[in-house]
């Protein structure tokens, strides 16, 4: 069997491993939250709103690194579920401000429980020190890329 030149060792790279694991874990998480009529991007928006830092759709798009039209689409769906509410910004009537509702907090809590259960399954073969090291390392990588860590 011919090996593709230059591919030697690719599976041992951090990038390859993280992207492969991310795809598998993302699919598993998506399956778990599907029961709530949510996708991971919806949960990302709910999480950003729960952090309370960015409320306008434009601000959220910048924070999440996505097109404003995607935030509008995600917010439309979340609004239909009663998870977010759109209101006009009293200081700038041109701005739509998204707020998390009680239903949104309930959904976010349910998704967090699903994520923790999946964490436990994925790390079942690791001892406590390995779990802590993995958590710390991934937190450091996330922080260095400006991603949420808390």
* Domains, the chain, with CATH or none: 27-120 (1.10.10.10)
88 CB-near residues (< 8 Å, 6+ apart): 95, 96, 97
15 forms bridges with which residues in the sheet? Answer: none
DSSP H/E element including 92: strand 92-100
Return per-residue pLDDT of the chain as tens, 150 residues: 555 555 678 998 999 999 999 999 999 999 999 999 999 999 999 998 998 755 688 888 888 888 999 999 999 999 999 999 998 877 788 887 899 999 999 999 999 999 999 999 999 999 999 999 999 999 999 899 887 777
* pLDDT value, residue 74: 96
114 CB-near residues (< 8 Å, 6+ apart): 29, 32, 33
Q: How many CA atoms lie within 13 A of 18 on its CB side?
A: 8
Prediction pTM value: 0.84
* pLDDT value, residue 61: 87
């Amino acid at each position: 069997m011919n090996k593709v030149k230059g591919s030697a060792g690719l599976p041992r790279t951090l990038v390859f491993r993280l992207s492969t694991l991310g795809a598998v874990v993302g699919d598993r998480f998506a399956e778990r939250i599907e029961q709530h009529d949510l996708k991971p991007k919806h949960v990302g928006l709910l999480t950003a709103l729960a952090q309370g830092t960015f409320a306008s759709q434009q601000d959220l798009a910048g924070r999440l690194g996505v097109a404003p039209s995607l935030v509008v689409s995600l917010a439309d769906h979340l609004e239909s579920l009663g998870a977010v509410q759109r209101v006009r910004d009293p200081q700038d009537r041109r701005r739509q401000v998204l707020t998390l509702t009680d239903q949104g907090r309930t959904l976010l809590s349910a998704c967090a429980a699903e994520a923790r259960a999946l964490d436990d399954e994925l790390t079942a073969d690791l001892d406590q020190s390995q779990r802590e090291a993995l958590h710390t390392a991934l937190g450091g990588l996330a922080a260095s890329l400006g991603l949420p860590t808390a």
